[in-house]
Structure formats: C-alpha cells, structure tokens
Amino acid sequence: MADYTTIKFEQRGKVAWITINRPDVKNAFNATVILEIASAFRDINDRKDLRAVVLTGASDSFCAGADLNWMGDVLKYSYEENLADSLNLAEMFHLMFTCPLPTIARVNGPAIGGGCGLAAVCDIVIASEKAIFSLSEVKLGLVPACISL
C-alpha cells in the first residue's frame, strides 16, 4: 500500500479501512486528502482479496468538509487550477460511488458539508450517537456543491 500523509489505509482481514487522519482540523479535506482517497480507492477497486471498505475519521470527527485554509488558497487559483481541483474531487466521489465492494461510512462524529458527501456516496452509513450531519454552506447562501456532483 502507498505511503499517505493525510489518510491511514490499512487492511484488516478482508476489509480495507480508510481513516481521514487530520484530527487537528476535524478531518477536513484538502487537495491532498482528495488525491489520497482517490488513490486508495483506485487500489481497492483493482483488488480481489477484499470484501468491503470502511471509511471513517480519526479522533472524534468524521469530516468537517473542506478545509477553510485550502478554500482560501483556492480563491487565488487560476481557472485551470480550479477546474483541475474540481475534477479531482469529482473523480474521488466517482471512484467511491462506483467501488465494486460495499462501502461503509463509519460516522463517528460531525459530517459537515463535503463530509456529508463522503457519507452519501457510501452504500451504508453507520452513525454513532455523536454523529451530526449538516450542510452548513446553506447558512452562507451557498449551494452544497460537494454532494451535488
């Protein structure tokens, strides 16, 4: 398995576990998280030794959606850079949604914005009593674009 910096990817028996590992920002995703999850699913989708995939977040959050620091940087991107980022996000969701194995979101805490999107593309969602689902973008007058892809 590849070396990742923002996710943990491990095999437990016949189950692949992907843990978003950025607890300091409530597991918010950025370009690196998106590329690493996509890479993990490319690997998973090609394997015959697995029976299921579990997606979860480190510590007490599932995923707080997009990292606001990254979103600030995106404002400075060119059209081409924004398009590439958007296509990477779409590819990640597509790889997850079309995974031939059952995908299980283990929602251990808040799933905000794009975090809801991550849960939504999974086949099964198991939520703890601490789970919160929110499309917080609407409070700002924005369309919850990450899950409308």
Active site residues: 137
Amino acid at 144: P
Contact 114, 146 (CB under 8 A): yes
Extended beta strands in the chain, E state: 7-12, 15-20, 52-57, 103-107, 110-112, 124-127, 132-134
Q: Give the CB-side neighbour count of residue 30, counting CA atoms within 13 A.
A: 16
- What lies within 8 Å, CB to CB, of 75 at 6+ separation is none
Closest CA to 130 of 113, 107, 96: 107
